[in-house]
Structure 1
Amino acid sequence: MNADPEVREHLGDLLTREQSDASVSRFQADFDKRGYGWWAVEVQVTGEFIGFAGLDDVDEDMPFTGVEIGWRLARSAWGQGYATEGALRVLAHGFDALALPEILAVTTATNLRSQAVMRRIGMTRNPADDFDDPTEPEGALRSNVLYRISRSART
C-alpha cells in the first residue's frame, strides 16, 4: 500500500517494505503509550487487510495542536465506503471512549477524496484555518486544509 504511487499521492515519497514495517512498529509503540493510535482496517467477511484508520497527536511542527483523525486504504478498497465507515468508528471512539472535546483532520488542498470523507462524517472547514505545512517544500503537498468536529456538534 505504501509503495503505491496513487495511495501516496498526497502523502509524499513511496515507502519501502522496511520503512512501512518501521511505521507500523512506531504506530504500535504510540498506541501502547497513549491508548489510542492507528487500527488495522480489514474486510469483515474475508479478513483481508485493506489499510488503517485512527487517531494521532498533531505533529509538533504544525501551527495548531490537538488530536487528528486519519485513514489510508489500499487502492482496491477505494470507493466502497470503508474510509467513511472506519472514520465514523474512530470518531465514536475518540468522543465516547476518550472524551476528546474536538477531533481535527488535515489533508492537502488537492486531496478531494479525503475532504469528501471529512464532510460525510460531519467535519467542517473554515478556510481561515488552512495553512502551508512547514515540513513540506514548495509544491503540491505544502498547501493543506484543516477540518474540525467537536463532541457537541457530532451528529
Structure 2
Amino acid sequence: MAELRTDRLILRRWEDSDLEPWAAMNADPEVREHLGDPLTREQSDASVARFQAGFAQRGYGWWAVEVRATGEFIGFAGLDQVDDGLPFTGIEIGWRLARSAWGHGYATEAALAGLAFGFETLDLPEILAVTTATNLRSQAVMRRIGMTRDPADDFDDPTAPEGPLRPNVLYRIARSARI
C-alpha cells in the first residue's frame, strides 16, 4: 500500500492507536452533521476494518491522516469506489477530519495528494466527489482542488432518509484537466 506524504501530512495505513480518536470523531455530532447519526465505538471500529479490507483488495482506499510535525491522527482522506445504489459509478475522493483540524487547509492538502495518486498511479480518467447539498465546507474543498459541479448531476441519495441528508451534489475532475 502506498503511503502519501505532503508538506504537512502523512496519509498512511491505519494503526491501532487511530481507533480511539477515530471513534471520538465519529461520535461528534458536528463531524457527523452531513453524514448521519453518530457512530458507536463498534460501528467506528468496523469502518476501519472495512477500510483495511479495501486496501488489501485494491491497494488504495481511505488512508489515515496524521500531521507530520506532531504525529497527531486527524482523520481520513483517500479514494474509494462509489457506493452501490447511487445513480453513477466510478472512483470518489473524500475526507473527514476532526474538528480541531478544520480551517487549516488539511482537507485540501490531503485531497490534492489523493488526486495525484488517482491520476498518476491508478491512471484514472476521472475522479468524483459527493456530499450533501448543505455541506458547503466540503464543496469549497472540491472547488479548491479543481473539481466542477453540473447541477444536472445533483441527485437524491436513495440510501439516506428523507430530510437534509438526501439531496446530494456531485463534483467531477478529469485527468485531462490536471495535465
After superposition, give the CA deviation of every residue in 1:78-101 in whole Å (9 maximum; x if it has no partner).
000000000000000000000000
Q: What is the distance in 1 between the residues matched to 2:134 and 2:93?
A: 18
1:14 corresponding residue in structure 2: 38
Partner of residue 148 from structure 2, selected from 109, 121, 124 = 124
Which whole-Å deviations, capped at 9, do the CAs of 1:100-132 have from their partners, x for residues lacking one?
000000000000000000000000000000000
3-state DSSP class of the match of 1:152? helix
Following TM superposition, by how much is the alpha carbon of 1:15 offset from its aligned partner in structure 2, in angstroms? Answer: 0.6
Mapping 1:35-74, distance limit 5 Å: 35-74=59-98
Instruction: Name the residue aligned to 1:101.
Output: 125
1:8 alignment partner AA: R
**Whole-Å separation in 1 of the counterparts to 2:173 and 2:54:** 23
Amino acid at match of 2:111: A
Q: Give distance in 1, aligned partners of 2:76 and 2:160.
A: 23
Q: How many residues align?
A: 155
Cα distance in 2 for residues equivalent to 1:69 and 1:140: 22
User: Alignment partner of 1:20: what SS?
Assistant: helix
Aligned: 1:92 with 2:139? no
Q: Distance in 1 between matches of 2:61 and 2:178?
A: 20
- Cross-structure match for 1:149: 173
Q: Which runs of 4+ in 1 moved over 3 A?
A: none
CA distance in 1, matches of 2:124, 2:117: 9
- 2: distance between equivalents of 1:17 and 1:137? 22
Partner of 1:3: 27
TM value normalised by structure 2: 0.85
Distance 1:125 1:101 in 2: 17
The percent of aligned pairs where both chains have the same amino acid is 83
CA distance in 2, matches of 1:60, 1:76: 32
Measured in 2, the distance between the counterparts of 1:18 and 1:141 equals 23
SS class of match (2:120): helix
Q: CA RMSD in A?
A: 0.7
For 1:31 and 1:13, locate their aligned partners in 2 and report how far apart those are by CA, in whole Å: 26
Gaps of 5+ in 2: 1-24
